[in-house]
Amino acid sequence: MPGVGEQAPDFEGIAHTGEKIRLSDFRGKIVVLYFYPRAMTPGCTREGVRFNELLDEFEKIGAVVIGVSTDSVEKNRRFAEKHGFRFKLVSDEKGEIGMKYGVVKGEGSNLAAERVTFIIDSEGKIRAILRNIRPAEKHADLALEEVKKLVLGKKAERVGEAI
């Protein structure tokens, strides 16, 4: 698993909308990259719903939220439509993205991502990793706290540079 301070591995995947997404497409923005085990399950639903509830706050401070699971594009599409998710859900059916981040376990039909959230800064560096957080929906609240700290730190750096 890449660590805090390391460059986040770039990846390419298909979002539930059918569009191709690369992490590098979001350079210049803070990215909240959250891995979740299975669409349509209780924990993943609560987590996704909470990210959606907080999405306006993330966007106001310049952050993008992207969810990744080993579910198919179609299952992620149904999941997003059912709950009105306004952020992208990326399909990682072979676990290739999850392997780059060290968050995949199992094999074949048992392949699943662990519930881990990476906060990636505008230059593509990992600034925080959230794992083993319970309940699942708390990932969204903690991610927002980390993004706010990152934004405040950047503002403080700019103020310091101006002096």
Catalytic residue among 15, 30, 44, 65: 44
Q: Is 159 designated active site?
A: no
Site of tokens 């540079």: 161
What amino acid is encoded at 29 in this protein?
Answer: K
How far apart (Å, rounded) are the C-alpha atoms in residues 115 and 35? Answer: 5
Q: Which of 106, 132, 104, 107 is nearest to 117 (CA)?
A: 132
Contacts (Cβ under 8 Å, ≥6 apart) of 51: 32, 34, 58, 65, 67, 85, 87, 139, 140, 143
The catalytic site residues sit at 44
